[in-house]
Amino acid sequence: MAFKGNVNCTITKLKAGEANVYGEQDTVEISTPAKCGVVRLEVGQEQSSVRVDSSASRAHADEMTAPNARLLFEKTADVAVGDKVTVFGHDLEVLSVFARHQVHGDLDHYQVDLKIWA
C-alpha cells in the first residue's frame, strides 16, 4: 500500500532570476502545495548557556532550538536539498532526501530530514 500524506504543506524552491542594473541576482520563489506526513517535529526554546547581562542576576536567554524534523512526502512531491518547507506555520530547510521503496522495489515515498529555516 502506497504512502498517502494527510498534512498540508508548501514546498518553496528558490531560483535565480534576472540580474538587475547592478549585476545582483534576484531570487524568485516558486511555491507548490504538497501533502506530507509528520514523523517528528520538535520546535521549542531552551535556556542558553550565555548570560543575558553582565550583572549577577543569573538570568539566561531563551534560545530557539533547531527542530529535529522528519517528514514523509508522497512520491509525486518535487522536494530537494535546500528547499524550504512550510508545515504548521514553521519554515524548515531540507537537509536530506531519502527515497524509500516497497518490498518489490517500487518507489513508495520520500523521507525528508529538515532543520529550522535560517
**Which string of DSSP letters, residue by residue, matches 29-76?**
EEEEEEEEEEEEE--EEEEEEEESSSSTT--EEEEEEPP-EEEEEETT
Residues 84-116: b if buried by 16+ CB within 10 A, e if exposed: bbbbeeeebbbeebeeeeeeeeeebbbbbbbee
Residue at 1 is within a domain: no
pLDDT band at 27 (very low <50, low <70, confident <90, very high): confident
Tens of pLDDT along 28-79?
A: 788 999 999 999 998 765 555 555 555 555 555 555 555 589 999 999 999 9
Residue at 49 is within a domain: no
Residue at 82 is within a domain: yes
> Domain tally for the chain?
1
